[in-house]
Structure 1
């Protein structure tokens, strides 16, 4: 703290130097007019000298940092400098008092009072320096009237000394209050900085926690969902098929909850970025209707879709996030409606898509409407127990809608249903010829003989890869860590290399760098990241090591097969280039 106090005083004195010198020039000119002679010129020269010495004395404090500690010699020099400079500066007032008559006395008192006010404003962070400066100015303020009262036998001048005492008392109170205020401000600033540091640490810890939780949940979920996918095409009894279906649905729900938490964290951190692509909103709405109509009808609920005729066939915006919002709204409508109708109405006006989702479900109590979009909130405590969910779906949907330049609102009547209104700003665009997007199914024969090096440290995941890929005719070589994978890449030829991210000995990223640094045929082999680390920064890290693709666990068999098929073509092209070289 002493370092900062001295630094504040030193910086302020240096900043006000020009003002003090200019004011000294004015005072010298007035002193000369009131009492002509050579003394004002000598006084001004003395002011210049003492101010220069003051600048030199306080230089270490101006250049200091928080680790600097003023030495005893510096403290003494600083106090002496403050005392001498103020003694010299106010000496012109003493000169005018003695030689300027009544006008000079009046002006001198004003100068002494102004000097005291000046040092109180600028030197209060350091009490020792302030007292030294006040001693000089205050000595003149009280000393000159007392001298006049006794030396000149004018007792009435003692009244001026009393006035000076009262003035000093007022200044003392003001200095104390100012010091307390500044101390409180500095303390508040320190607490604010500490709070910001704690918030940054908490945010980093939260991000790290989410990354760890995401990884640790996705790893066992990979086994659960992959096992269900592997069981589905086998010969099963009706009861076994029902068990597999329950496994798959439970896995989908768990992955949905995990993705909700990650999306919410991304929005909270301000890292959610929206895409801008051209898409057909009518097509997206109809696809959602086809998805949810069978589920609604299974409960005896009708799902009706009404799309305005003037809805553009092509708009620009984030199709995925729009679908995510509507998916949440329809999911809630189906979840909370046991009879009646769910109606979806889409309208278009002035680059704003409005979608209204009305249901005839249980509705929401009036005292809960204000909380329905809050994080981790649901209509009541029993909702989670009965229907499940994190309470994040609507919070995420509303924030996504706001990011899209619109909003999400709700009205509801308990026992009669709810109405959610989504507004999203989308700009009309020229229709583009849509690419034919086939289902990501790949013929097994297309992967026959594909030589794959896969680095995976988890035995269950190794087994899943074998069960998924070997029936497709792939020739799979497994490594338990990145170091083993890099060593194998030096001694054998592979068409594709699949790397996990978190592994013992050497992680997937370091393994990818080492493989890329080799000179053999695998240096340019397509590298596919297959990892439970699913955050955006993980995806970016793999992009930086020139990964061909980034896939997350749980493994989607069709997506993996499609990616391997694409990588095979890339591997053949790279191999031809290497052989030609």
Structure 2
């Protein structure tokens, strides 16, 4: 049987009964295909297409031959053939099988075209897609629109029309200058030009207006617009599309938040200024009172005068403690600027506090027992000075509110990732009602009525500990059973470099070259000027000159080149910060060491001055012996 006869028989039998459009090809070379014939379904498909009629012995359409050749060279599931059937478009995927005829060396192909979708289905899907897109546009809560390159609207959704109070159809063909005030239209047009010029998308805030005659624009009324180019096959913009969302409410909320933040900042600045001023106004007279009383103690006094001097000192110290507590409470409520927690040796603060409180305990016949092994070689996140202040308060209370010949026990242990410091006393203990009132400012319990205090210590201590990330409370108390307070501080890893930053031994400073040195004092309060003059004169061999304003002080420093400057922060004509800057900018005075003597004890001011590389900062009222020692050390280093 010849190949032609075999093909004829094949076509007469199973070929015509195949459910799919089927064609037979003979493969004469890797790329050469010869069309031999097709079944009636293929004939119907080709006659219904817009392709021209072809010879039966040639490929019925270039698209078909190309599709088969591509399927053979690059097998893939997504090879498709698209055919125009009248006004409709149909897509097919080839299914290719090979076979051989006995006695014929050629390879034959059977190709069946599986329709991806019926033409009616394609048309239905197209109409459905268009309807869905239209619904999406018209039901969106955002402006959606398309403009041509001249800025004329081609498409505008119903939301846009509702915002303008006109129909969507009436917007078509208009420009922004037909719809909005010129300032708004200019804003839109400039952004459109940027998109068209760069052929790239932008996201931009734009003015919001809904009326061409709108004369006043709310600065918070804004669209957030995403504008993008529509590109042709050459990659050039032929139109502009955009989606704009009303963000007016968000802009108003942002402005309200900014104003609230600015109000809070102004309030905090006012609080800080108040604290600074009150610290200065309260501590300045106390400096003169306590300083003069200390000088009096060094003079030969009658027993009555000595007793009066002692009373002045005790009352002054009590008043100073009260001032410190009140200012600290106010300072914490203002945001506690200045507390900087860092990894510090856990044992330092409690050890220093014990050292300071033991004399008080001994005077009242109270025994203090401590076991600090739990704090050895550990670090906590804290401010050493503030943590020491907390421990001094707890230990002082444990001594003051103890029974005669009582005891205080101090120890440390690790609890849930924190180091717990415990202070236990053998005092009268407290009821549950007392515990609830204990940490409220200015509240004093009935049992403390006869004991000196302000009722601020525990409230302040708790706030300080909380600002450092810890907690302070009562572990146990009951009437007749004493009380146990705890302080939990977060544990921290040891610093990478644990440097020894302890101060040099005071007796090791060589002051032999300090004699006959000149010291400049810049201070505007007469009582404090006289106090420093009396202290310096008692130190021997030193020359003190004084200025009562910042301007005159800087001039004296330039003319006399003193070895040391003692500077107050709050002067009548300028601040101490300004004086330091003037001194450091002048070659004649930039190397003169400066010690601040200030009644402003706010941490922010102290940190500000220390950052300017001053030598030291002494807070008024100061201890006379400490002041004298600091001056000698400064002159020895000058």
**Structure 2 length-normalised TM:** 0.58
Q: Return closer, same or farther for 1:62/1:213 CA change in 2, 3 Å cut-off.
A: farther
1:296 to 339, 361, 384: 361
Deviation, structure 1 residue 477 = 0.8
Tell me whether 1:305 sits opposite 2:369 in the alignment: yes
2: distance between equivalents of 1:507 and 1:77?
47
* Larger proportion of helix: 1
- Partners of 1:441 and 1:562 within 8 A in 2: no
What secondary structure is seen at the aligned counterpart in 1 of 2:465?
Answer: helix
Mapping of residues 144-183 of structure 1, within 5 Å? none
Aligned length: 435
- Partners of 1:384 and 1:390 within 8 A in 2: no
Q: Which residue of 2 aligns with 1:419?
A: 484
What secondary structure is seen at the aligned counterpart in 1 of 2:173?
Answer: helix
2: distance between equivalents of 1:27 and 1:496?
79
Tell me whether 1:233 sits opposite 2:305 in the alignment: no
Mapping of residues 191-340 of structure 1, within 5 Å? 199-268=264-333, 269-276=335-342, 278-279=344-345, 281=347, 284-300=349-365, 302-307=366-371, 309-318=373-382, 319-339=384-404
1: distance between equivalents of 2:469 and 2:551?
48
Tell me whether 1:515 sits opposite 2:583 in the alignment: yes
2: distance between equivalents of 1:223 and 1:563?
19
Deviation, structure 1 residue 449 = 0.8
Q: Which residue of 2 aligns with 1:361?
A: 427
**Structure 2 residues without counterparts, runs of 5 or longer:** 1-139, 148-152, 159-166, 189-206, 218-244
Mapping of residues 13-24 of structure 1, within 5 Å? 16-18=142-144
2: distance between equivalents of 1:558 and 1:62?
75
2: distance between equivalents of 1:71 and 1:427?
60
Q: Return closer, same or farther for 1:363/1:54 CA change in 2, 3 Å cut-off.
A: farther
1:466 to 520, 525, 533: 533
Q: Which residue of 1 aligns with 2:620?
A: 553
- Partners of 1:446 and 1:565 within 8 A in 2: no
- Partners of 1:368 and 1:379 within 8 A in 2: no
- Partners of 2:401 and 2:448 within 8 A in 1: no
Q: Which residue of 2 aligns with 1:49?
A: 173
**Structure 1 length-normalised TM:** 0.63
Q: Which residue of 2 aligns with 1:370?
A: 436
Deviation, structure 1 residue 222 = 0.7
Q: Return closer, same or farther for 1:270/1:539 CA change in 2, 3 Å cut-off.
A: closer
Q: Which residue of 2 aligns with 1:393?
A: 457
Mapping of residues 52-71 of structure 1, within 5 Å? 52-53=176-177, 56-57=180-181, 60=184
The structure with higher relative contact order (CA 8 Å, sep 6+) is 1
Q: Which residue of 1 aligns with 2:241?
A: none
Tell me whether 1:450 sits opposite 2:517 in the alignment: yes
Pairwise CA RMSD: 4.5
2: distance between equivalents of 1:222 and 1:558?
14
Deviation larger for 214-223 or 345-354:
345-354
Q: Which residue of 2 aligns with 1:74?
A: 213
2: distance between equivalents of 1:402 and 1:506?
36
Q: Return closer, same or farther for 1:58/1:392 CA change in 2, 3 Å cut-off.
A: farther
* Larger proportion of strand: 2
2: distance between equivalents of 1:553 and 1:409?
32
- Partners of 2:143 and 2:157 within 8 A in 1: no
What secondary structure is seen at the aligned counterpart in 2 of 1:18?
Answer: strand
Deviation, structure 1 residue 559 = 3.3
Q: Return closer, same or farther for 1:356/1:508 CA change in 2, 3 Å cut-off.
A: closer
Structure of greater Rg: 2
Tell me whether 1:534 sits opposite 2:598 in the alignment: no
- Partners of 2:345 and 2:378 within 8 A in 1: yes
Deviation, structure 1 residue 484 = 1.6
- Partners of 1:358 and 1:418 within 8 A in 2: yes
